[in-house]
Structure 1
């Protein structure tokens, strides 16, 4: 009974708190700051656009927000996005097929169209399944900041942002005005974990700017030498020799006054012991920010994506078993109208066409070589500022020629009153079926899945350097898009499909405690999530347990940094995850069976030396110092054993930057 009314109690507490504050609101608003802005306040007061498209501070924007700075990434020595996301409340990493790793969020598998991942405005969710392969893929050393919504973003971003949004902004596209080179080496006791490097350059003037990033790397998925697959189709394998995780990214941006253009090519190659997987993506984006009046900004844009994602085949012979080109042509118009300092509205329309083409000439698309989807969407969001609260009201309507229409509203109340802030959020969000979801739909038909998401956040800044925030969430997802298969390739009986299952979701809470001093800072987080009791997706279920396959209920992280001298910093991090359940064996009938994965504590440490010579930085550290090697399980019953966790990795980083004169 207590659990049933947990969120009603939180809402009641919030309203009573708001009433108490409003009684003397005028006097609170008239108080002057009694200290200079602290480093923490500078971060909190920096506007973010990822949640509302109208810049608001992290404490007032209508979403549960995490912002990760270049300083934090550099200090932690993060090797890839896995290291970054593991320190964010609610996020984890699980295995998909063929040792491809994807995102889990708030206790649920979120890799297929539930989390939108963007870099410099370009979406990395591929068009066939809406997945995003992560791992040794993104150039973390070239990142200026990462803005994350831990919650739905469909009302603004559409059908790939049902549970969350990750927005990566590179240094070259944002702050860099010069040339920089960087490199990372990761070394296990008996294998090279990764060798990555890149160069970035940017020149910014009042009228014309350009930026360029080039990143390439070579890595492995794991260095473990005694890996056995679940079905035991092959013998014990040395993963340092039969797996790879090799990225490449080329990123060019041009801007002349209000006209901007960006093009990007991204390639990521990975493999398990028997199968290679390749993702190739090409993006172009042209937009013009037209200041129609002092109050109206109109931004038309054209986008084109050309991808060959999820190509896979035999690792030894490199013969392809699946090879499809997916393209998207998109036209969009956004507009922002400011009625006053206290009211504004963002609105727009989108049309795009997706096309899949079978490159193996096998008639993949129901006997045809191609499949086309046509989408039209309209969205609007209003922001109204009042002395009691900021109100955000929005919606998105989207219609597709194959799966029909989806309508999702969004309502948010937020406010920062001196040291206290609150957020009350309700959003509907949807996951749009993609090309392959529709192509292999059971009985030829699937619907968009739709989620109702309730969130409440309370926060208090105890001192200019110290903040505590706590949020609770409840996610109910209906018409869940689920993959299914049966039979075998060996006898030609293999079948696969997508279908809608009735219900899934999770509920829980997240807490963040931040303290930032001149000489040190620390971020302590706690995440708790539990599966909905009436979940109908059997492949996610752990019988008798209130958590899904591959996920821990509890996660605690501590990220600390000490500036030993103005140039030298030491950054230890700690990550605790409670027990998980995974398919690690076969039962007496030869079917995958669940077992328990023990809790683990990851201990990492990194030492940074800035400006060893002017512009030259050097860093070194170790990941998984205690060598606990946590495995990475599949987030569903897909027939794959957990990836054997990589051992202690020693990391070295170097970078050198020359700034242009203004």
Structure 2
């Protein structure tokens, strides 16, 4: 692999553009990377607005960004976002995400993931897979809220919201086919096909991936995924269907440390959305969705026990919303809505029942007023749940523009993360028993930010935040086998973003996150919360070539065992060469300089064997891609 790395770097220098000639043949798409604030978005306020008018701290990743970033999956895209941090629990196939230091042991539960506005976190454990399990070939853009979002979205919008917006059908037929081959026996394909039939627009997508790394702890690191999706649009009606068949190995510690321990997951969804305008300045939006997931965690027969049993999960969620957006005048807008959903979770290791059900209902209201040089947003949402009762989530924000190029933002929000079915009813023999009396985690969040656009070539933002967390769901294996809602803690920090276009064909970005966290329960930092994190990126285009280089630094942090993990920096790159107007060759190199770093320390209960080893993340990885557009 050292030879491959050297050849890749030489290849970049030989074929990349001459800096003295920069400024020619610039694609207009690249400008989107640095005109983010002019983009029209919907996630922060649930109606269309310019990104610069958002009541929340946001980041937007466009289709063009995704194409040029040296990222193979959603996790590697999101780790470049300021305030967000991705960690790998056990292996590259299990990626977890935190917003503003709030990961600890919650995996992805404290960030709400939406796909075209549809809630996508799983029913049983609240997780959304951001690794190779989720295809990224049909993403149009990703709208990301940094901070609480429960005032509009309810459960799980605790520290952030990520809305993945997929590509819509186009008026003219088109499509593309792509193939991938790389390190870890990676073989993949992507197919996107757009075809209008009469007044109906159709967009079909299919993708597959086989991945089988050598493994750090054992050889059980394979991924096999097949996905298909269909989106149909007729006037104001959109219907979507998705299917994902994902099998993967789980080479982790403790009960997972077996070569033949695998996860098999089959999931599909249906989604419908209808928008119309019954009266002037009044827009209504109706949506319905059905999410299903059948998940199996399978052990070898020789290790079956009360603790190590096959886990069979069958989960369903059906829900819907009605939203009304009324523009009273050019200065005042009222958004109101109702939501309801029913969830069913069947688990063979449930504590005393074959299946569990829950229902929830919600009502929300938001008032947005434009004053001279500013926008005030006030909103609240009330959710009532059949198991853990009601919760009110208010928010208030003030955006002020003292000058055309300057902006100030102040915001407060309250959000919650509910206990999941596994936390309330899961059973692990004599080691862990669910607690039906758990209550939702709660956070009061405060932030203040300032931004300035120096020119059309440079933009900067600085945001300060503070989060006060209550009723954290904790588990102490040394004193109790029950989880309880007794934890408290706080996080505070500063986020800095800078984007620059010194000349038309070179784009630079840099972001830095400083955060201090404190878990009152452990009297230490929250796990996996580095004090310092920064990203640097450069994208340049000349003629038929595009080159992107990124550097990511992560400071020292604790893992869940209390180990101190050292800081590290990783350099990544992507090169795209247009062989013809409709044929692109790409090379992605992750961890170019083969930096080895620990993502999870050893379990202190063990002094020998697999559980006494730290998990060291994979070294250099090179993936080749070929895409044909028609």
TM range (shorter): 0.7 to 0.9
- 1:264/1:282 contact within 8 Å kept: yes
1:120 to 2:116 alignment: yes
Equivalent of 1:348 in 317, 337, 345 = 337
Give how far 1:497 is off. Answer: 4.0
1:500 to 2:500 alignment: no
1:510 to 2:487 alignment: no
Match of 2:262 in 1: 276
Match of 1:81 in 2: 74
Structure 2 vs 1, CA of residues 299 and 142 (structure 1 numbering), >3 Å: closer, same or farther? closer
SS in 2 for 1:292: strand
- 1:176/1:201 contact within 8 Å kept: no
- 1:59/1:415 contact within 8 Å kept: no
Give how far 1:503 is off. Answer: 0.7
Give the distance between the partners of 1:595 and 1:615, measured in 2 at CA: 50
Give how far 1:370 is off. Answer: 1.4
Give the distance between the partners of 2:34 and 2:357, measured in 1 at CA: 49
1:457 to 2:470 alignment: no
- 1:135/1:245 contact within 8 Å kept: no
1:297 to 2:297 alignment: no
Paired residues, what number?
A: 573
- The TM-score, its normalising length taken from structure 2, stands at 0.85
Match of 2:626 in 1: 654
Equivalent of 1:553 in 504, 519, 531 = 531
- 1:38/1:465 contact within 8 Å kept: no
- The TM-score, its normalising length taken from structure 1, stands at 0.81
Match of 1:21 in 2: none
Match of 1:152 in 2: 148
Match of 1:336 in 2: 325
- 1:106/1:506 contact within 8 Å kept: yes
Give the distance between the partners of 1:615 and 1:631, measured in 2 at CA: 41
- 1:94/1:635 contact within 8 Å kept: no
Structure 2 vs 1, CA of residues 38 and 652 (structure 1 numbering), >3 Å: closer, same or farther? closer
Per-residue CA distance 1:284-330 (angstroms, 9 max, x = gap): 11222132111211222222122124x31216889861112111121
Give the distance between the partners of 1:81 and 1:286, measured in 2 at CA: 24
Give the distance between the partners of 1:502 and 1:471, measured in 2 at CA: 27
More displaced stretch, 471-480 vs 165-174: 165-174
Give the distance between the partners of 1:413 and 1:137, measured in 2 at CA: 38
Give how far 1:410 is off. Answer: 0.7
Per-residue CA distance 1:555-592 (angstroms, 9 max, x = gap): 111011111x2321111111111222336xxxxxxxx5
Per-residue CA distance 1:160-216 (angstroms, 9 max, x = gap): 2111111112335689951111222221xxx42x22211111235894212111111
Match of 1:212 in 2: 204
Match of 2:595 in 1: 628
Per-residue CA distance 1:397-428 (angstroms, 9 max, x = gap): 00111111000101011134411012111000
SS in 2 for 1:242: coil
SS in 2 for 1:453: strand
- 2:492/2:515 contact within 8 Å kept: yes
- 2:96/2:130 contact within 8 Å kept: yes
More displaced stretch, 336-345 vs 107-116: 107-116
Structure 2 vs 1, CA of residues 377 and 317 (structure 1 numbering), >3 Å: closer, same or farther? farther
- 1:162/1:451 contact within 8 Å kept: yes
Match of 1:617 in 2: 584
Give how far 1:438 is off. Answer: 2.8
SS in 1 for 2:616: coil
SS in 1 for 2:600: coil
Match of 2:95 in 1: 101
Give the distance between the partners of 2:46 and 2:465, measured in 1 at CA: 23
Give the distance between the partners of 1:204 and 1:553, measured in 2 at CA: 50
Match of 1:233 in 2: none
1:62 to 2:58 alignment: no
Give the distance between the partners of 2:109 and 2:605, measured in 1 at CA: 18
Give the distance between the partners of 2:544 and 2:168, measured in 1 at CA: 23
- 1:526/1:556 contact within 8 Å kept: yes
Give the distance between the partners of 2:605 and 2:161, measured in 1 at CA: 26
Give the distance between the partners of 1:577 and 1:477, measured in 2 at CA: 24
Match of 2:182 in 1: 186
- 1:224/1:647 contact within 8 Å kept: no
Give how far 1:374 is off. Answer: 1.3
- 2:70/2:572 contact within 8 Å kept: no
Q: How does 1:155-554 map to 2 (within 5 A)?
A: 155-172=151-168, 178-187=174-183, 191-192=184-185, 194-204=186-196, 207-220=199-212, 223-225=214-216, 227=217, 237=218, 241-273=219-251, 274=258, 275-309=261-295, 311-314=296-299, 321-358=310-347, 360=348, 364-416=349-401, 417-440=403-426, 444-483=436-475, 485=477, 497-516=482-501, 517-532=503-518, 535-538=519-522, 542=524, 547-554=525-532
Give the distance between the partners of 1:339 and 1:317, measured in 2 at CA: 68
Match of 1:607 in 2: 575
Give how far 1:642 is off. Answer: 4.7
- 1:575/1:603 contact within 8 Å kept: yes
SS in 2 for 1:446: coil
SS in 2 for 1:555: strand
Structure 2 vs 1, CA of residues 444 and 138 (structure 1 numbering), >3 Å: closer, same or farther? closer
Per-residue CA distance 1:343-375 (angstroms, 9 max, x = gap): 1111111121111123x4xxx443221111111
1:577 to 2:545 alignment: no
Per-residue CA distance 1:125-165 (angstroms, 9 max, x = gap): 10001012222123234322111111111111110211111
Structure 2 vs 1, CA of residues 89 and 197 (structure 1 numbering), >3 Å: closer, same or farther? same
More displaced stretch, 595-604 vs 333-342: 595-604
Give the distance between the partners of 1:505 and 1:176, measured in 2 at CA: 52
Structure 2 vs 1, CA of residues 82 and 366 (structure 1 numbering), >3 Å: closer, same or farther? closer
Structure 2 vs 1, CA of residues 126 and 349 (structure 1 numbering), >3 Å: closer, same or farther? same
Runs of 5+ consecutive residues of structure 1 not aligned to the other structure: 1-36, 228-236, 488-494, 584-591
Structure 2 vs 1, CA of residues 75 and 38 (structure 1 numbering), >3 Å: closer, same or farther? closer
Structure 2 vs 1, CA of residues 112 and 179 (structure 1 numbering), >3 Å: closer, same or farther? closer
- 2:182/2:621 contact within 8 Å kept: yes
Give the distance between the partners of 1:469 and 1:636, measured in 2 at CA: 40
SS in 1 for 2:201: strand
Taking only aligned residues, the RMSD between alpha carbons, in angstroms, comes to 2.8
Structure 2 vs 1, CA of residues 647 and 470 (structure 1 numbering), >3 Å: closer, same or farther? same
SS in 2 for 1:72: helix
Structure 2 vs 1, CA of residues 443 and 329 (structure 1 numbering), >3 Å: closer, same or farther? closer
Structure 2 vs 1, CA of residues 39 and 266 (structure 1 numbering), >3 Å: closer, same or farther? closer
Structure 2 vs 1, CA of residues 38 and 173 (structure 1 numbering), >3 Å: closer, same or farther? closer
